Structure formats: C-alpha cells, structure tokens
Amino acid sequence: MKISAKEKNSEKRDDPRIKYSGQVFFTTKNGFYEGNLKNYSEHGLFIRTFNILPVGSTVTIALPYLDGYVKRQGQVVRANKNGFAVELFKEDCDPFQKVSPRAMQIK
C-alpha cells in the first residue's frame, strides 16, 4: 500500500490523536480563556478558540477528567485561524492534579 506525501507530512507526531469535542479552559500571563478541545494525545492537544495564542506562548490548561478537571501546562507549537496546538510539558508531579476552572482564573 502506497502512502501519499500529504499523509506522510500530516502525521509528524509519535502519539496517535484521539478526537474529542468538549469545553476546555486555559490561562496565560495575560488572561483566562475558553475554547473547545478538538483532539488530544499523551503529549499534545489542539484547542479551537477565537483567542489564538502566539507560537511559543506558555499556557495552563484545565482538561476535563473523570468528574472534574486536571491542570496541565504546555507550549503553543502551532496556530492557525481556528485555534492552536499545544505540546504538553512533562510533569514532575502528579499529572492528574484536580483543579477547578474558577481556581485557575483567580490568581
């Protein structure tokens, strides 16, 4: 079976993406925002939002998990008119630390 050049270039990641549609909250040093999680993997995710962050921005994300949210940090690695992709930082502590979106907003 032959793989097209387009298919080779579209999958540059090691981890498979899982499609997901749900609300997600994120913060930067400049504010608190919300968007929709389009897909995710162990090391990254894509957020659809009107609040496009510049490539290189550090972002803290409240991800839906079981009966609440967990907080993860990462860096924006790609952005387009629909949203942005984040590479998640490796966590030294518990990667599933529960957090509320309201707690993220209050600093």
pLDDT tens-digit profile of 24-64?
999 999 899 999 999 888 788 999 999 999 999 999 998 87
User: pTM to 2 decimals?
Assistant: 0.72
The answer to whether 87 and 72 are in contact (CB under 8 A) is: no
Give me the residues paired with residue 70 across strands.
63, 98
- pLDDT of 3 over the 50 cut: no
The more confident residue out of 33 and 68 is 33
Nearest to 62 by CA among 93, 80, 86: 86
Residue 54: what pLDDT? 95
